[in-house]
Amino acid sequence: MGVTADPSREVDLARVLTQLRDQVSEVRFVLDMPGVEEARAAQLEIKSQLDDYVLPRIRGKSAPMLVVLGGSTGAGKSTLVNTLVGARVSATGVLRPTTSSPILVCHPDHAEWFLKGPLLPDMGRVPGPAPDAIAGDQLVIISSDKLPEGLALLDSPDFDSVFEDHFEFATKLMSVADLWLCVTTAARYADAQVWQMLQRAREQGTTIGVVLSRVPQGAGSEVVEHFEQMLQEHGVGDAPRFTIPETRIEDSRLPEETVADIRSWLVELSENIERRSKVIRDTFGGVLDSFRVRVPELAKQVEAQVEVRTMLREEVEAAFAAAMAELDEATRNGSLLRGEVLARWQDFAGTGDLLRSLQVQRNRPLMVRKSHRRRRSPARQSALKAALRSGLESLIISAAEQAGEEVLARWRAHPAGRQILAGPAAGLSGVSPELPRRVSRAVSSWQDHVLELVRTEGVTKRSVAKRVTFDEEALSIVLMIGLLGYGTTDVAVEGGTSAVPQRLLKALFGAESLRGMGAKARADLRSRIGMIFDEEAIRYGQVLDAAGIPDESAAVQLYQATYNLEVAR
């Protein structure tokens, strides 16, 4: 007796369900955010139900129908099991809770399957009979020929026990039931925990039956009527229901007549192959139906984690983009050309070194002209180049540091960011230790690039080229000064002895050639700074990756697994 009529479909369904189990297991809810505890619990429930019930049920085609009795403390589950079995197999007594470990009773022909089979693979197994109390996560298997071959009863711990592990056992065992029989009392049936467990069983697709025990004589009809009304209100009004009156208990068993209806119902279900198969198929199908909602809900929680991860990454991008925008402005408006850079420029331009770098050609042979060309940079020119390099390096490092501090501030302002900074990124600083070295190398390379532009693309105007030669390195420095905004600042050079870079450069190269060189030089500088900023931003992305926050693919895979399940069914 299988869960589907077609064996080939069962194989395909088992494969798809195994993939679903793997996808659910791989999800990591790293960030502590609203709903995450519920998501983690839902993830564990789905995985456990797949491992403990769904996959074993596909493989256990000939296994009997498993009826799990669950209920509140003192509801009489163990007494009911003892009565149905006809022997004291489960401990009863006045001490609560009584059942420490779950007791499973089955026909001897099926004891081996429950002892060594795939059901509840994470739980230990011990053969019965069992003493009154067994500590630990153990499933006690007891054989009894009083039960028909198609039926197994499992007495689970109380779900409202003071012991937390008892509640975990109770919910775990409920999810493996082909039929969950909820046992409560006339004094406890209105407790919220009873209805929460019934709702949980309903949402997980389990077939439900209910037993109202210890119904007092006389006023019993009013209690039963109210109980049935509550069943209707909570959406389980169609569940088979039974009542057990308040009566004497002898040898841990109820009078036979008080459980006659329950016994005949269970025996009929177990001995009638068609009805038993329908209960198993209904529960199995109900569990699969529940995955249509439960797995996408899990995927939504994954997406919420992804959204926060994306937000934290966008904070990094925004901070460095703002730093780049400020740096763009600072390298255009002349703010860099102050202090030492301005003093070095004044010294270079005002003392005549700039003009000496330009030479009026005489009517001398070409080789002679070349032999007299200046080959060594004068001290003032070298000092200006060094000051320019140092000023640009400081500007870039300052912008990167500001961006890094801004990222840390934004992350600290968000709960998830604070969690990341307190965990994987506890030692994360605003910028990397390698930043100064990378910036120095980048600026130096940019100055070399500008020099190469002057050499290869700085074609002088024909009217000027016939009369003037120039020192390429000196002109490259003048081009840098012009690119960095000389003339846009309100700072003036004393004495008026210096030439305005743009005017000089236009006179030598012409406006069109100058625009081309300037655009390429500026684009190259921006590209180099962008690479440095990207390297700094990557550090924060690596922290997010190291934290294990899921990416978009995790949610997509859950949705795909749900779709694949629908196709396989």
113-127, 219-233, 361-375: lowest mean pLDDT where?
361-375
**Is residue 317 assigned to a domain?**
yes
Confidence of residue 135 (pLDDT cuts 50, 70, 90): low
Q: What percent of the chain has pLDDT over 90?
A: 56
Last residue of a domain, one of 271, 289, 323: 271
- Pinpoint the alpha helices (H) of 435-510: 435-457, 462-465, 472-483, 501-509
Confidence of residue 351 (pLDDT cuts 50, 70, 90): confident
- Tell me the per-residue pLDDT of 268-319, one tens digit each, with 9 for 90 and over: 999 999 999 999 999 999 999 999 999 999 999 999 999 999 999 999 999 9
Instruction: Look at residue 467 in the predicted model and tell me its pLDDT.
Output: 56
Instruction: Look at residue 373 in the predicted model and tell me its pLDDT.
Output: 46
Q: Do 108 and 236 share a structural domain?
A: yes
Q: Do 412 and 336 share a structural domain?
A: yes
- Tell me the per-residue pLDDT of 73-104, one tens digit each, with 9 for 90 and over: 888 899 999 999 998 887 664 334 444 678 99
| CB half-sphere exposure, 562, CA atoms < 13 A | 19
pLDDT at 536 over 50: yes
Q: Do 174 and 319 share a structural domain?
A: no
Last residue of a domain, one of 213, 245, 271: 271
Q: Do 215 and 311 share a structural domain?
A: no
Instruction: Look at residue 370 in the predicted model and tell me its pLDDT.
Output: 44
Burial status of residue 276 (CB atoms within 10 A of its CB: 0-12, 13-18, 19 or more): buried
Last residue of a domain, one of 220, 243, 271: 271
CA 57 to chain centre: 31
Q: Are 71 and 77 in contact (CB under 8 A)?
A: yes
Instruction: Look at residue 493 in the predicted model and tell me its pLDDT.
Output: 41
Q: Per DSSP, what are the bridge partners of residue 139?
A: 125
Q: Are 529 and 327 in contact (CB under 8 A)?
A: yes
Structure tokens at 472: 């390429």
* Whole-Å CA distances, 121 to 56, 159, 526: 9, 21, 60
Confidence of residue 334 (pLDDT cuts 50, 70, 90): confident
- Tell me the per-residue pLDDT of 105-122, one tens digit each, with 9 for 90 and over: 999 999 999 998 888 888
Among 181, 154, 178, 202, CA closest to 277: 178
Instruction: Look at residue 7 in the predicted model and tell me its pLDDT.
Output: 66
Instruction: Look at residue 99 in the predicted model and tell me its pLDDT.
Output: 47
Going 108 to 113 to 114 to 115, the CA torsion angle's sign is positive
Pairing type for strands 358-360 and 241-245 reads unpaired
Q: Give backbone dihedrals phi and psi of 37, rounded to 5 degrees, phi first.
A: -65, -40
- Tell me the per-residue pLDDT of 8-29, one tens digit each, with 9 for 90 and over: 778 899 999 999 999 999 999 9
**Is residue 380 assigned to a domain?**
yes
Question: Buried (b) or exposed (e) across 329-342, using 16+ Cβ within 10 A?
Answer: ebbeebbbbeeebb
**Residue-by-residue DSSP string for 128-144:** S---S---SSEEEEEE-
- Give the other-Cβ count within 10 Å of 153's Cβ: 26
Instruction: Look at residue 498 in the predicted model and tell me its pLDDT.
Output: 41
Q: How far, in Å, CA of 71 to CA of 98, rounded?
A: 12
Mean pLDDT over 532-551 rounds to 92
Q: Do 341 and 206 share a structural domain?
A: no
Instruction: Look at residue 490 in the predicted model and tell me its pLDDT.
Output: 45
Q: Would you state the torsion angle of the CA atoms of residues 132, 135, 140, 144, taken in this order, to the nearest 10 degrees?
A: 0
Number of domains in the chain: 2
Structural domain that includes position 386: 307-558
Q: Do 312 and 261 share a structural domain?
A: no
Decide which of 3 and 346 is more confident: 346
Q: What percent of the chain has pLDDT over 70?
A: 85
Return all residues near 413 (Cβ < 8 A) that are at least 6 apart.
none
pLDDT at 359 over 80: no
Enumerate long-range contacts of 458-465, CB under 8 Å, 24 or more apart. Answer: 458/508, 458/509, 458/513, 458/517, 459/509, 459/513, 460/508, 460/509, 461/508, 461/509, 461/510, 464/507, 464/508
Report which DSSP code applies to 254. -
**Is residue 279 assigned to a domain?**
no
Confidence of residue 254 (pLDDT cuts 50, 70, 90): very high
Confidence of residue 500 (pLDDT cuts 50, 70, 90): low
Pairing type for strands 151-155 and 103-106 reads antiparallel
* CATH, residue 173: 3.40.50.300
Q: Do 446 and 316 share a structural domain?
A: yes
Decide which of 351 and 95 is more confident: 351
Q: Do 333 and 190 share a structural domain?
A: no
**Is residue 164 assigned to a domain?**
yes
Q: Do 334 and 244 share a structural domain?
A: no
Q: Do 332 and 225 share a structural domain?
A: no
Confidence of residue 218 (pLDDT cuts 50, 70, 90): confident
**Is residue 195 assigned to a domain?**
yes
**Is residue 347 assigned to a domain?**
yes
Token pair 């860099």: residue = 336
**Is residue 25 assigned to a domain?**
no
Token pair 């069962």: residue = 10
Q: Are 241 and 211 in contact (CB under 8 A)?
A: yes
Q: What is the mean pLDDT of the chain?
A: 85
pLDDT at 368 over 70: no
Token pair 């809900």: residue = 297
Q: Do 253 and 314 share a structural domain?
A: no
Q: Do 324 and 177 share a structural domain?
A: no
- Tell me the per-residue pLDDT of 421-476, one tens digit each, with 9 for 90 and over: 988 677 788 889 999 999 999 999 999 999 999 888 765 554 455 555 667 888 88
**Is residue 298 assigned to a domain?**
no
